[in-house]
C-alpha cells in the first residue's frame, strides 16, 4: 500500500528545492504527496533558523501535529513527524528532548539518507513505542546531490536549482555559516546535467540557488574552477532555457564577469537581489559585511551601466546592536539613492552562538519597530512607483500558474513582478481562434502590454506568443 508524505516548508528557496528533493527521494519507496497533514503518514517540517520567530513557529507546528498524531494513534494509524532543515541542524539533540513527538531529526546535508532513517524509526516503533528517536545532522563527505534522484515531473516552467551551499562569510548576525556549514559548489557538469534534464521536461526558467551564490567556484572538469558568470553562460547554452536568475548574492563577490553576464547573456534576467543589510559604514563594519556603502554604490553603478533596466532588490536589518538614529538615517538615504523594485526588511533578531547576539548594545524593541515601519513605508512606496512605471511597457511574461478566476494565468515579468493575463478578455483572444483554450499557454513565454498595476500584481494584455 502506498504511503503519503506532507512537507511544510519554511524559509528560503533552498528549502523549497530541498523539500522537492526529499519527496523525490521518497517516491521510489512508495510515497505519494499528501494534500494535508491529516492524510499523511509522514509529515516533514523543513525548517528555517534565520530569525527567532521562524524557529519558534516550528515548535508551535510540532504542538499541533502532536495532537494529530495522538488522534491518529487512537484510530490505529501510524504517523511520523520529521524535522528537517536549519532548526534541525542547529538544535537537533535539544529538539528531541524538548519535543518528544518528533520521530526524526535530519540536517540539510543528509536528505539522501531519509529512507534509511525511516526504516530505523519504524524498527523502533515496532518495539511498541509511540515515537522513535532518529537523529542525523552530520555533514557527510559524500554529498546529498550525488544521491538524489531527479525530478520526473515539474509543476512549473520556472524551477530552482541549488548550485552552492554554505557560507564562509560569518556576518555577525547570521546563523547560516553554523547551520549550513562551509561553502561548497557543485561541479559545472552536475549543474549543466540537471539543467538539461529540466529543459527536456519543459522548464524554461532556472533560478540558480546558493546562500552565497555568487561565490560559486565549481569544478570545470579540466582542473580549473568556473565562476558564476561562466556557469550562467554554460546554462544559457542549453536548448530551451530562456531565463536565468540567481540568488542570493553578496556584494563582495559581484565580480566584473558576473556583471558583464547581465549585458552579454540574453537569458540572464535584468533583476538582482543584492542584500546590503544597512546603509551605515559603522554598522556594515560591525556586521562584518566587509564592504562600505560607497563600494556598494560603485557595484550598483557598474551593474546599471551594464544593464540600464536592471531592477534591484535587497534585504535590510534594522536595530542591529549599536545602530543609532544617524546610522538608520544612512540606511534610509541608501534606499532613496538605489530605489529598489522590491525588498525584504527585518528587525534584528539575536541568534544564539552568533557574535552580535552577545553585544551589550542591543537596540530596544520599540525603536526597532519604529525604524522598521519607516523603512517599510519607503520601500513600499518605491515598489509601487516601480510597478506604476511599468504601465504601458511591453514585457515577456512566463506563465506559471492559473489565476483565481477562470481564464486567468499568472506569470512573472523579467523584473520578477507577478503579472495576471486574462484570456477571457476579448483583447487577449487570438486571431482566427474564437475560443482558445487558455491553459495551452501555461508554461509559455508571451509578450504582453502592461495595462494596470495593483498592490501585489500587474495586469497584462496579450500581444503574441514567443515560445
Ligand atoms: N536577524 C534579522 N534578520 C536576519 N537575517 C539574517 N540573520 C538575521 C538576524 N539574526 C536576514 C538578512 C538576510 C536574510 C535572509 O535574513 O537580511 O539577508
Ligand atoms: Fe549569512 Fe552573511 Fe553568509 Fe549571507 S553572507 S549567509 S548573511 S553569513
**pLDDT tens per residue, range 396-441:** 999 999 998 888 999 999 999 999 999 876 555 555 454 557 888 9
Q: What is the pLDDT of residue 464?
A: 65
Give the C-alpha separation, 265 to 310, whole Å.
Answer: 13
Query: Does ligand 2 have an atom closer than 6 angstroms to the CB of 62?
Result: no
Give the C-alpha separation, 283 to 286, whole Å.
Answer: 5
Q: To test the ligand 1 pocket, which listed residue (176, 317, 343, 352) has its Cβ within 8 A of the most ligand atoms?
A: 317
Nearest CA to ligand 2 atom 1: 174
Q: Which grid coordinates are listed for 317?
A: 536589518
> What is the pLDDT averaged over residues 158-168?
94
Is residue 51's pLDDT more than 90? no
Is residue 288's pLDDT more than 50? yes
Using 50, 70 and 90 to split pLDDT, how confident is the model at 127?
confident
CA of 428 to the centre of ligand 1 (A): 42
Q: Shortest CA distance to 262 belongs to which of 380, 415, 121, 404?
A: 415
pLDDT digits (tens, 9 = 90+) for 213-267: 999 999 999 999 999 999 999 999 999 999 999 999 999 999 999 999 999 999 9
Ligand 1 atom with minimal separation from the 349 CA: 1
CA of 345 to the centre of ligand 1 (A): 8
- The region of weakest confidence among 20-24, 39-43, 396-400 is 20-24
Query: Does ligand 2 have an atom closer than 6 angstroms to the CB of 211?
Result: yes
> What is the pLDDT averaged over residues 282-296?
98
Over the chain, what is the mean pLDDT? 92
Q: What is the pLDDT of residue 375?
A: 98
Q: Which ligand is nearest to the CA of 178?
A: 2
Q: What is the pLDDT of residue 434?
A: 43
Give the C-alpha separation, 364 to 387, whole Å.
Answer: 35
CA of 210 to the centre of ligand 2 (A): 11
Query: Does ligand 2 have an atom closer than 6 angstroms to the CB of 212?
Result: yes
CA of 277 to the centre of ligand 2 (A): 10
Using 50, 70 and 90 to split pLDDT, how confident is the model at 160?
very high
Q: What is the pLDDT of residue 314?
A: 98
Neighbours of 9 (CB within 10 A): 20
Q: To test the ligand 1 pocket, which listed residue (52, 315, 331, 358) has its Cβ within 8 A of the most ligand atoms?
A: 315
Give the C-alpha separation, 74 to 71, whole Å.
Answer: 5
Q: Output the CA–CA distances (angstroms, integers) from residue 355 to 7, 127, 174, 348, 401, in the order listed.
A: 33, 44, 9, 13, 43
Ligand 2 atom with minimal separation from the 180 CA: 6
Query: Does ligand 2 have an atom closer than 6 angstroms to the CB of 174?
Result: yes
State what percent of residues in the chain have pLDDT above 70.
Answer: 94
Q: Which ligand is nearest to the CA of 352?
A: 1
Q: What is the pLDDT of residue 179?
A: 86
Q: Shortest CA distance to 279 belongs to which of 325, 248, 243, 311?
A: 325
CA of 464 to the centre of ligand 1 (A): 41
Ligand 2 atom with minimal separation from the 167 CA: 3
Is residue 81's pLDDT more than 90? yes
Q: What is the pLDDT of residue 193?
A: 95
- The region of weakest confidence among 51-55, 193-197, 247-251 is 51-55
pTM of the model: 0.91
CA of 173 to the centre of ligand 1 (A): 7
> What is the pLDDT averaged over residues 100-111?
92
Q: Output the CA–CA distances (angstroms, integers) from residue 15 to 12, 52, 119, in the order listed.
A: 6, 17, 24
Give the C-alpha separation, 40 to 321, whole Å.
Answer: 43
Q: What is the pLDDT of residue 103?
A: 95
Q: What is the pLDDT of residue 436?
A: 58
CA of 248 to the centre of ligand 1 (A): 12
Q: Which ligand is nearest to the CA of 53?
A: 1
Q: Output the CA–CA distances (angstroms, integers) from residue 257 to 188, 225, 227, 265, in the order listed.
A: 16, 14, 8, 11
Ligand 1 atom with minimal separation from the 345 CA: 17
Cβ neighbours of residue 200 closer than 8 Å, sequence gap 6 or more: 240
Of 301 and 76, which is predicted with more confidence? Answer: 301
Q: What is the pLDDT of residue 400?
A: 95
Q: What is the pLDDT of residue 432?
A: 46
> What is the pLDDT averaged over residues 307-333?
98
- Ligand 1 pocket residues where CB is under 6 Å: 50-51, 173-174, 275, 277, 315, 317, 346, 348-349, 351
Nearest CA to ligand 2 atom 5: 169
> What is the pLDDT averaged over residues 344-354?
95
Nearest CA to ligand 1 atom 7: 174
Q: What is the pLDDT of residue 320?
A: 98
Amino acid at each position: 500500500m502506498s504511503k503519503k508524505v506532507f512537507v511544510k516548508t519554511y524559509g528560503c528557496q533552498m528549502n523549497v528545492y530541498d523539500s522537492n528533493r526529499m519527496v523525490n527521494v521518497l517516491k521510489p519507496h512508495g510515497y505519494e504527496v499528501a494534500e494535508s497533514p491529516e492524510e499523511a503518514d509522514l509529515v516533514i517540517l523543513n525548517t528555517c533558523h534565520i530569525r527567532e520567530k521562524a524557529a519558534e513557529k516550528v515548535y508551535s507546528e510540532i504542538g499541533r501535529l502532536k495532537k494529530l498524531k495522538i488522534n491518529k494513534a487512537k484510530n490505529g494509524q501510524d504517523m511520523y513527524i520529521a524535522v528537517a532543515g536549519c532548526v534541525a541542524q542547529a538544535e537537533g539533540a535539544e529538539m528531541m528532548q524538548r519535543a518528544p513527538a518528533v520521530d526524526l531529526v535530519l540536517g540539510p546535508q543528509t536528505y539522501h539518507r531519509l529512507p534509511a532513517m525511516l526504516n530505523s524509526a519504524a524498527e523502533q516503533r515496532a518495539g511498541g513505542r509511540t515515537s522513535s528517536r532518529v537523529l542525523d545532522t552530520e555533514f557527510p563527505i559524500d554529498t546529498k546531490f550525488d544521491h538524489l534522484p531527479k525530478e520526473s515531473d515539474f509543476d512549473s516552467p520556472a524551477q530552482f536549482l541549488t548550485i552552492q551551499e554554505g557560507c564562509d562569510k560569518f556576518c555577525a548576525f547570521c546563523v547560516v555559516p553554523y547551520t549550513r556549514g562551509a561553502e561548497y559548489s557543485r561541479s559545472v557538469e552536475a549543474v549543466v546535467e540537471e539543467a538539461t534534464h529540466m529543459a527536456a521536461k519543459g522548464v524554461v526558467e532556472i533560478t540558480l540557488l546558493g546562500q552565497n551564490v555568487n561565490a560559486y567556484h565549481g569544478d570545470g572538469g579540466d582542473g580549473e574552477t568556473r565562476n558564476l558568470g561562466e556557469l550562467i553562460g554554460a546554462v544559457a547554452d542549453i536548448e530551451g532555457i530562456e531565463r536565468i536568475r540567481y540568488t542570493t548574492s553578496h556584494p563582495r563577490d559581484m565580480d566584473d564577469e558576473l556583471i558583464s553576464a547581465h549585458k552579454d547573456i540574453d537569458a540572464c534576467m535584468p533583476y538582482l537581489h543584492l542584500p546590503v543589510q544597512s546603509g551605515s559604514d559603522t554598522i556594515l563594519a560591525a556586521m562584518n559585511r566587509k564592504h562600505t556603502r560607497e563600494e556598494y554604490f560603485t557595484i550598483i553603478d557598474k551593474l546599471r551601466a551594464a544593464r540600464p533596466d536592471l531592477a534591484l532588490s535587497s534585504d535590510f536589518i534594522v536595530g542591529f546592536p549599536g545602530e543609532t538614529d544617524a546610522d538608520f538615517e544612512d540606511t534610509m538615504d541608501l534606499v532613496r539613492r538605489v530605489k529598489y523594485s522590491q525588498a525584504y526588511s527585518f528587525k534584528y533578531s539575536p541568534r544564539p552562538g552568533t557574535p552580535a547576539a552577545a553585544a551589550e548594545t542591543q537596540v530596544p524593541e520599540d525603536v526597532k519597530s519604529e525604524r522598521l515601519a519607516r523603512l517599510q513605508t519607503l520601500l513600499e512606496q518605491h515598489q509601487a512607483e516601480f510597478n506604476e512605471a511599468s504601465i504601458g511597457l511591453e514585457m515577456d511574461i512566463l506563465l506559471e500558474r492559473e489565476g483565481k478566476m477562470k481564464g486567468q494565468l499568472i506569470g512573472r515579468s523579467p523584473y520578477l513582478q507577478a503579472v495576471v493575463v486574462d484570456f477571457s478578455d476579448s483583447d487577449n483572444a487570438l486571431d482566427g481562434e474564437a475560443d482558445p483554450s487558455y491553459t495551452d499557454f501555461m508554461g509559455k513565454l508571451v509578450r504582453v502590454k502592461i495595462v494596470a498595476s495593483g498592490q501585489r500584481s500587474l495586469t497584462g494584455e496579450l500581444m503574441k506568443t514567443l515560445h
